[in-house]
Amino acid sequence: MTQRHAPATERNREPILEVLATHLPPEGAVLEISSGTGQHAAHFAPALAPREWLPTELEPENLVSIAAWRERYPSANLHPPQRLDVSAPYWWSEPRSSGQPITAIVNINMIHIAPWHCCEGLLQGAEHILATGGVLYLYGPFKRGGRHTAPSNAAFDSHLKNQDPTWGVRNLESVIELADHHNFNHLTTVEMPANNLSVLFSRR
């Protein structure tokens, strides 16, 4: 099987892990939406045990890569990848847990490289999946007050929109407003390296 490799993942995994270890519920299953190459899943699962880690992806090549990383770095609490499309109706009925309740949802670097309706679908599904006190974690670049936080983010935003006009760096306030509509309280926003943010919500 073919492992894909994203250099940025090697750089951001430790700062993200620190935030997750601090804010995730101490037990249960973590549903990772859009797991990408699988590098994060392979790194986070053993570090965050006894929590179960459930990676998901839409792209076939990434599903293969996640399975390859899992095979290379096996962990008893890292489960096989599942295909998942957050833009599909009622997608939240699809994730298969290990019997542990899903107590957290993690989404890293997706909502800016997907149409806005994927962010809407993510929040809608999270509302159905998580019980009161469940945690939703988002990571990536965001605008604040409608403005980019760094010239590099502005350039990245232009690059994304040149690829697909429905993509782009999202306004943090718009995401918080959408989350509130789906019964999530904004817990905190953590400044991360490379002008990214960790944004955490709790299910009401």
Q: What pLDDT, on a 0 to 100 scale, did the predictor assign at position 1?
A: 64
Q: What pLDDT, on a 0 to 100 scale, did the predictor assign at position 5?
A: 86
Q: What pLDDT, on a 0 to 100 scale, did the predictor assign at position 94?
A: 87
Q: What pLDDT, on a 0 to 100 scale, did the predictor assign at position 8?
A: 83
Q: What whole-number distance in Å separates Cα of residue 78 and Cα of residue 42? A: 7
Q: What whole-number distance in Å separates Cα of residue 204 and Cα of residue 71? A: 37
The domains of the chain are located at 7-203
pLDDT in tens, the chain (204 residues): 688 888 888 899 999 999 999 999 999 999 999 999 999 999 999 999 999 999 999 999 999 999 999 999 999 999 999 999 999 999 999 887 778 999 999 999 999 999 999 999 999 999 999 999 999 999 999 999 999 999 999 999 999 999 999 999 999 999 999 999 999 999 999 999 999 999 999 999
Q: What pLDDT, on a 0 to 100 scale, did the predictor assign at position 98?
A: 72
CATH fourth-level superfamily of 7-203: Vaccinia Virus protein VP39 (3.40.50.150)
CA atoms within 13 A on the CB side of 198: 24
Q: What pLDDT, on a 0 to 100 scale, did the predictor assign at position 97?
A: 75
Q: Is the overall model pTM greater than 0.95, yes or no? A: yes
